[in-house]
């Protein structure tokens, strides 16, 4: 991992924000791409928003990207471009919670703060036999206080990295290597045969179903898109014209009159953290722009479609139909 052993707070911050909702294998290429384009705080603070979202495209949870840009500007304006050195100041930054603040404080500045990620939670739960999941505020506090109590104050960075590595390589979620673990003889879960039961499972999230109908207005050379500016999923990304409704009757919409289109749409699904998106795509041939002039769409050449940032579902449609 390119960020392992890193002491630069900017690079640590970038890696931690990417890994908040992303697997290491996927996140590494984005980490490298972001640092290549924006090698320091000042470069990120001056980033073109559209270009930044384009690099982030495919990572999801785009509020992370928005918060990164706001935080970079805040550091430049309020801290003279120098990443704050105290845990409390780091915690004030947009998009940074206790875990990320602890990681930056410990790894960049050797401050005595325990980093509590999934690996650490798994080890503490198994070793001490903690029955509660890491879910409610009270339960999270239990783990965080214990992790802080165990932290050697003069070796916080080394200890944090070591326990995280132990969880990633030995105390794994599935098929842990207990025989190789230096703590097996005192581990509650190992002694009592409860490795598979701990940590306790979180209650299952019920996904909300949403139904998006996308209209691909196009002609031979151009395609029409719009930017999503409402405070909702995919904010600041681009998409074709969209109607959100479980079922639609195409004859109800005046702007579709006289257009050639297939009444059987292509279907796609995408799962988000709390939502399941059902996407339906209709290709519409537009030769007379009068019918769509009130839809506030952006006309772009198809050849330039790749410079715009789109949600994963829409990228899948474009790739399958040779737009990208």
Q: Give me the catalytic one of 6, 16, 28, 179.
A: 16
Task: Copy the structure tokens of residue 27.
Answer: 């996140």
- For 5, 189, 307, the CA distances from 281, given in Å and listed in that order, are 46, 50, 21
* φ/ψ bin of 312: left (φ > 0), alpha (ψ from -120 to 50), beta (otherwise): alpha
- Using DSSP's 3-state secondary structure scheme, residue 18 falls into helix
Q: Count other Cβ atoms within 10 Å, centred on residue 256.
A: 16
**Matching residue, tokens 């392992």:** 4
Burial class of 171 by CB neighbour count within 10 A (0 to 12, 13 to 18, 19+): buried
- Which of these, 241, 220, 213, 212, lies nearest to 286 by C-alpha position? 220
Catalytic status, residue 16: yes
Tokens of 128: 């001490």
Q: Is 302 helix (H, G, I), strand (E, B) or coil?
A: helix
Q: What span, in angstroms and rounded, lies between the C-alpha atoms of 61 and 228?
A: 14
Q: By C-alpha distance, which of 237, 236, 311 is closest to 281?
A: 311
Q: Show which residues are catalytic.
A: 16
């Amino acid at each position: 991992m390119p960020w392992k052993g890193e002491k630069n707070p900017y690079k640590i911050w970038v890696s931690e924000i990417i890994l908040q909702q992303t697997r290491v294998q996927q996140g590494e290429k984005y980490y490298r791409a972001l640092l290549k384009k924006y090698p320091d705080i000042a470069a990120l603070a001056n980033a073109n928003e559209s270009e930044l979202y384009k690099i982030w495209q495919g990572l999801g949870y785009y509020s992370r990207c928005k918060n990164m840009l706001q935080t970079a500007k805040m550091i430049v304006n309020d801290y003279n471009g120098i990443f704050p050195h105290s845990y409390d100041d780091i915690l004030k930054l947009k998009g940074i919670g206790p875990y990320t603040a602890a990681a930056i404080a410990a790894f960049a500045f050797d401050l005595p703060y325990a980093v509590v990620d999934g690996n650490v939670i798994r080890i503490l739960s198994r070793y001490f036999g903690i029955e509660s999941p890491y879910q409610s505020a009270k339960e999270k506090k239990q783990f965080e206080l214990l992790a802080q109590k165990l932290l050697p104050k003069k070796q916080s960075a080394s200890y944090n990295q070591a326990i995280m590595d132990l969880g990633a390589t030995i105390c794994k979620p599935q098929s842990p290597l207990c025989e190789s673990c230096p703590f097996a003889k005192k581990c509650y879960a190992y002694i009592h045969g409860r490795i598979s039961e701990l940590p306790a499972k979180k209650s299952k999230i019920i996904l909300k179903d949403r139904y998006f109908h996308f209209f691909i207005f196009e002609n031979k050379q151009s395609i029409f898109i719009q930017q999503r500016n409402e405070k909702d999923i995919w904010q600041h990304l681009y998409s074709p014209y969209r109607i959100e409704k479980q079922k639609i009757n195409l004859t109800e919409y005046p702007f579709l009159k006289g257009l050639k289109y297939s009444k059987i749409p292509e279907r796609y699904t995408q799962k988000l953290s709390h939502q399941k998106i059902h996407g339906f795509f209709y290709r519409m041939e537009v030769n007379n722009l009068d019918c769509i002039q009130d839809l506030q769409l952006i006309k772009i050449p198809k050849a330039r479609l790749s410079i715009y940032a789109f949600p994963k579902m829409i990228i899948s449609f474009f790739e399958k139909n040779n737009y990208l």
